[in-house]
Chains A and B, each alone.
Chain A
């Protein structure tokens, strides 16, 4: 079992609530003011703490690669990220401790003031799409149909690779296409530059494109 402090706190408050509710259900006490106060804790206060801890723990869980790879159509993406031999951008970033277990979220999250909210809304859309359209498909059927919804923004790369570093600018291709990179008109993940984040996926789409 994980030693997550939110989990431990939630288990403690849950246990407390269960003791109080158990006392009410099994002992059947008279409905006095004391009973109501006990139930206020059993039904209201303690479960509220459990829910709050559960929400935070759930929020953290939804950021992990394990969670993203939970749907079968995402398994190859997760496996590619975890593959130490993979040279794709996703795998290379997953090997960086700053991204680690949350590398899917770190790159695919929206940033800005309401970034978390829009990211979670996008995640709900994924769940909806998966439940209605992809759940019943085999991997071979699903993978050619999976596309990133909108072009991957360079701004996400630039959160770490600021384009201001002299070492970065010393690279000829960076210097020559600096404006296009900053404007997002040339993708960092294009084939002539750093290549696809998930190379296997690109190969599938390329094969599909070539098939008459």
Chain B
């Protein structure tokens, strides 16, 4: 598991792909809750859906921050 996370974090492209897939799942849950506004879809969307969407965006921000840092380092050298 830890090895898998390390491999994931090592590749920006892989991170972005995971982030994209998580976003699709989160969007699916959110739309499901709006099309079928009953107890479980709404609960799942407002908890798991939101968590997945936020995680996806955090992964994206990690990639952007890493790129910016690398670019700054290149500029400094």
Q: Which residues on A are within 8 Å of B, measured CB to CB? A: 1, 4, 6-7, 10-11, 14, 17-18, 21, 24-25, 31, 36, 39-40, 42-44, 47-48, 50-51, 53-55, 57-58, 61-62, 64, 66-67, 70-71, 127
The reply to whether A14 and B27 form a contact with Cβ atoms under 8 Å apart is yes
> Which B residues lie at the A interface, using CB under 8 A?
12-13, 16-17, 19-21, 23-24, 26-27, 30-31, 33-35, 37-40, 42-43, 45-46, 49-50, 53, 56-57, 60, 63-64, 67
* Residues A7 and B39 in contact in the complex (CB < 8 Å), given A21-B20, A36-B67, A43-B57: no
Asked if residues A10 and B31 are in contact (CB atoms below 8 Å), the reply is yes
Contact between chains at B33 and A54 (CB < 8 Å): yes
Q: Which of B12, B17, B21, B37 has the most CB of A within 10 A?
A: B37
A210 to B8, alpha carbons, bound, how many Å?
Answer: 65
Minimum distance in angstroms from A172 CB to a CB of chain B? 44
Chain B residues whose C-beta falls within 8 Å of the C-beta of A43 in the assembled complex:
19-20, 23, 56-57, 60
Q: Are A61 and B42 in contact (CB under 8 A)?
A: yes
Q: Which of A14, A40, A66 contacts B60 (CB 8 A)?
A: A40
Complex: A47 Cα to B55 Cα, angstroms = 12
User: Which of A1, A36, A53 is in CB contact (< 8 Å) with B35?
Assistant: A1
Q: Which 9 A-B pairs have the closest CB atoms?
A: A61-B37, A70-B39, A54-B30, A21-B20, A43-B60, A7-B34, A57-B34, A58-B42, A14-B27
Interface contact B13-A31, CB-CB below 8 Å: yes
Return B25 CB to nearest CB of chain A, in Å. 11
Tell me the bound Cα distance from A149 to B53 in angstroms: 35
A7: B residues at CB distance < 8 A: 34-35
* A24 lies within 8 A of B31 (CB): no
| Known contacts A18-B24, A62-B42, A66-B38; A44/B50 CB under 8 A | no
